Structure 1
Amino acid sequence: MRTTVVDAARRALGPVGLTLPVSFTDALSIDLQREAVERLEGAGYHAVWTNEVVGGKDALVQLAVLLAATRRMVFGTSIANIWARQPQTMHGAAAVLAQAYPGRFVLGLGVGYPQQAADTGREFGSPLAMMRDYRDRMDSPTSPPAPDVAYPRIIAANGPKMLTLAGEIADGALPAGGPPEFTAQARQALGPDKLLVVGLSVIPGGDRDRTRALAREWVSGSLRLTWVAAALARLGYSEREISEVSDRLVDAIVAHGAPADIAAKVREHLAAGADHVTLMQPIGTDLSVGVDQLERLAPALRDVTSRGNDHRIG
């Protein structure tokens, strides 16, 4: 049964999607968001992902509006934050979307951060234990019950233990911000029957030196998190490469430059085992600017295929 859910999601998502540009400082007009996804669907993209923290917006309400604004586009949460709602409510809302828009919804779950737990008056605890408990309680009986409909459930996982857990209790995983070598490790950890969605940071532009400089700023920011540096060291990047944020490291993590360069990096992740790659622009990217860039990228991505399967943009 769950294998069928994964296979259907692979077909629906195709190899490439995008994460809607987001801001953590401004409330984006829902009218502009509707216009954006209509344009992106017209450009040939099949899938859009949206994020969630705690408060300010509800990712599932947002997707209900955007699903209604499009005809065939698939939407996913990357991620729906477990601190934003109770597990039974998460499942109930997700099931309604899956029932209303068959084959067009993927639920990505994430544990978020300690401050987000504190903002809701709860203890963060062990991320692994929290995710396991949350996933278990999603299917607890309620009155009235949630719609009896299947939908893909994947877990944000950037570490080996969370990847293992995702393979055990979910339909797959959603790692983000890693090089293709990490995608290969994630596929090995999950096995062939799970959905692997990979978040790929992108900075489009014709001046490769400029886009690499911007990409280096992005990578430098992520390296402030000690676990990121540790993960890169496990992949074989040297202490010097990490401390100096080398060109090799930047180019491995961020797809930057011309559309052909970005398409090539997408292919690397697909070849490493990703089912679907979602393009993530820098936080704070203006929505209209981001959509313009993504529209220009679309032609280069039309010929991107996943392991020989004939899934294309457009």
Structure 2
Amino acid sequence: MSEHAGNLKQQVGRYGVWSVGLRAEDPERRDERAEAVAELERLGFGAVWLGGNSSARNAVPLLRASERIVVGTSIQSIWEHGADAAAADFAEVEAAHPGRFVLGLGVSHGPLVTDYRRPYSTMVEYVDALDKAGMPAGRRVLAALGAKMLRLSRDRAAGAIPYLVTPEHTAQARETLGEGALLAPEFKVVLDSDPVRARATARAYLASYLELPNYVRNFLRLGFTEADVTGGGSDRLIDAVFAWGDEDTIRRRISAFHEAGADHVALQVVEQDPRGDLPREGWRRLAALLG
């Protein structure tokens, strides 16, 4: 996949924005979302990643409202969207907006899926079906945490989009992926230099993720302890998976992912309601501090 991944690396650039709010389907906020993605493009972000079990349908309005920025799903659940339908949707979007849509796929989490089973094998079957339907492997990426899914990302996709990870995970993932594949981790940012307030904002958002075993297991593999992943997360865990502080600190924390081997970092601005907000002033501040 290295040739296709190289093209994708160039398209998405070093920085993108990860947002649940941009995937929302509330018609009353359609114009606001269109204005927001057009501004993100002007600010220089290379990609928008749509959280919350997103699909091609969520990407289309943003693609129409912009000219160059790449829009990807992060992620589309393989349990809720059949492979044949996903391939057909991709082909339709690709025809209208060539080279600008990336299908990000993931296996979600056991507590969120009825009849959750054999996630890795099911993902292999899913990408087999995508291949059969003619969906190009170079335009899909996988939400991979463990080594097996990372290898699948390398061999059957353009690369990986790990969520809720650290630079240490990025270094391990790069070793597994090799140099060719795209590695685009998500990273959360709280634009607040007050430690008590920033950690409180981060902890309130992290709490629900600590109920999902895939993330907890990954934290334990990275050397965190059971104490770190209980009670909303220890300060040690919060400080590892969120950037907060002054501009120099946040810039340094983001740079650590690139230094560890990331090609692109998908930045999620966390405020009081990150699942519903469009933190446009936060995105402007990020763009300014990143230069």
Range into which the TM-score falls when normalised by the shorter chain: 0.7 to 0.9
Describe the superposition over 1:160-179 as per-residue Cα deviations: whole angstroms up to 9, x where unpaired: 33223322322211111111
Distance 1:201 1:156 in 2: 16
Question: Match of 1:157, SS?
Answer: coil
Q: Percent identity at matched positions?
A: 34
List runs of 5+ in structure 1 lacking aligned partners.
303-314
* 1:117 CA drift (Å): 4.7
* 1:278 CA drift (Å): 0.4
Match in the other structure for 2:150: 163
Provide the aligned C-alpha RMSD in A: 2.7
Distance 1:149 1:138 in 2: 8
Match in the other structure for 1:310: none
Distance 1:113 1:41 in 2: 32
Match in the other structure for 1:261: 249
Distance 1:52 1:229 in 2: 19
1:11 aligns to 2:14 (yes or no): no
Give the 5 Å matches for 1:107-146: 107-114=103-110, 117-118=113-114, 123-141=115-133
* 1:227 CA drift (Å): 4.0
* 1:38 CA drift (Å): 1.4
Aligned 8 A contact 2:23 2:50 in 1? no
* 1:295 CA drift (Å): 1.1
Distance 1:86 1:288 in 2: 29
Q: Size of the alignment, in residue pairs?
A: 288
Give the TM-score normalised by structure 2.
0.87
Give the TM-score normalised by structure 1.
0.81
* Greater shift in the superposed pair: 44-53 or 20-29: 20-29
Give the 5 Å matches for 1:1-314: 2-22=1-21, 27=26, 29-53=29-53, 59-114=55-110, 117-118=113-114, 123-141=115-133, 151-243=138-230, 245-282=233-270, 284-285=273-274, 290-302=279-291
Distance 2:122 2:3 in 1: 27
Classify 1:243/1:83 alpha carbon distance in 2 versus 1 (closer, same or farther; 3 Å).
closer
Aligned 8 A contact 1:21 1:290 in 2? no
Distance 1:228 1:265 in 2: 20
Classify 1:286/1:159 alpha carbon distance in 2 versus 1 (closer, same or farther; 3 Å).
closer
Q: Which has the higher contact order (CA 8 A, sep 6+)?
A: 1
* 1:16 CA drift (Å): 0.7
Describe the superposition over 1:81-129 as per-residue Cα deviations: whole angstroms up to 9, x where unpaired: 22333212211221332343233222111122446653xxxx4321011
Distance 1:149 1:44 in 2: 27
User: Residue 263 of structure 1 aligns to which amino acid in structure 2?
Assistant: R
Structure number with bigger Rg: 1
